[in-house]
Structure 1
Amino acid sequence: MQQVDSTVDGDIISLIHDVTLQFQRSGPDVQNIQRTIQDIRETEKIRREMLQEARSINQRMSRSLQISRSKGVREHVDPESMNHEDLMLQMEQKKFTAAKMIQDLDQDISSLEAEVHQLRMQSLELDSSYKSRSVDAESRTGSNERNLSPDAGTDSRGQGTARRGQGDVVMDGNEEEDIMDDAAHAMAVLRLQLYKGLGVEMLENELGVYSKARIRSSTRKDVHLVNFDDQLSPYFQTNLIWEFAS
């Protein structure tokens, strides 16, 4: 626009200069005035055309700027990014739901462990009561036999009865350990079944120690393998497993 104005101003200056020269020349004044008016009209026409062209160029540039801005806004608002945020929110909700389910199952397992322990104690009490009654019955039978047999035989049977009583005490301890081992094994199997139902399968190494976990995702239909590392925190490994599982 400045270039157009400078061009028009230059034309006006040259026009004034020509008018001055024409007045200085000899000739009728009316003709000089008519030529001057005609030159002014032509100059105004040229100026209007130049202004119209500049306005059309400005309008085209404005439309191009608006189109570029609209394209930039559409590129920033990506539907895939919105879907990704929704997917992350759904995964977080599933994660919290699974954590709540695990917490409830842990509470159920704790209550079942307490119930198993109580039943085990009752079983031990019943076994000890039954065995004490058996010992009393054997002692009464032995006393009756001693009344009918020699003294040596009585002493020998009495010692045998005492030995049987000592053996019964050792048997009670072994049975208690067996019951404890069976309960621990049952709880371990229950935990493994729980993990497997959530898509986590524990894998043993050559020494029989659980060192890996195979995770199957029900949503993405893929499989991941996680190695248990003592250098990593349990919180990080747990979040990694649940991320793969969900």
Structure 2
Amino acid sequence: MWRCCGCCCRNKPKTTDFPPRHLLTTDTMLLDEDPGTLIHHTIGNFNIHPDKQAVTRINDSLSTLQQSRDLRIREAESAMRKLSRHLNSLSTQHEEAVAVHDSGKHAAEIVELDTKKFRIAKAASELEIESERLESELEMLKERLVDLESQGLEGDETTRREREADDATILRLKIFRSLGVDIEPDEAGNFSRAVIRNSRKGDVHVVNIDPKFSRFFYANYFWSTMQG
């Protein structure tokens, strides 16, 4: 495109030639080479490949950031919806609890619970006292058991004397034993065997007692055996 600075137009008389010949000549000389070739050479002088790569990387980064941002937004929206549902549920529960709450009934329940607590504490105290009493009684019974075990099956001397004085059978057995005759009971408690010891000869005779023989017979037999 041609331009006129205006100086030549002021110094020269006006003519009908436009544009001026000297400018037209200059522009014609500049465009002697093909404009497409000039543009191609001009473009070749610029190295825009790094810029294109940088723009590509920027676009990729922007796309990644946008995806990350969208994901975080979706997660936040999901969490917000979940919290909103939970809030609504809690609000409903709170409203129901407030609606059914009766302060008078609550106070009565507190009084009843306090009464039960007092009764339980009293029962626990009584049980503790009873436990101590039973422990003391148990210790006394243990001591009594030790005494009885130390005395044996027949008891102490005083007990044996009292029992022997009251029991005629024991007296008879004692008389027989003093004569060297031990009467032994069987599993049923019946006296079915006699052990006769002759102290002079050192003999021992075992006699099975049969009910078909009389006591007189066994008395004579025992006596004759003891006399040897």
TM-score, normalization: structure 2? Answer: 0.26
Q: Comparing both structures, which one devotes a greater share of its residues to helix?
A: 1
TM-score, normalization: structure 1? Answer: 0.24
Q: Which has the higher Rg, Structure 1 or Structure 2? A: 2
Bigger relative contact order (CA 8 A; separation at least 6): 1
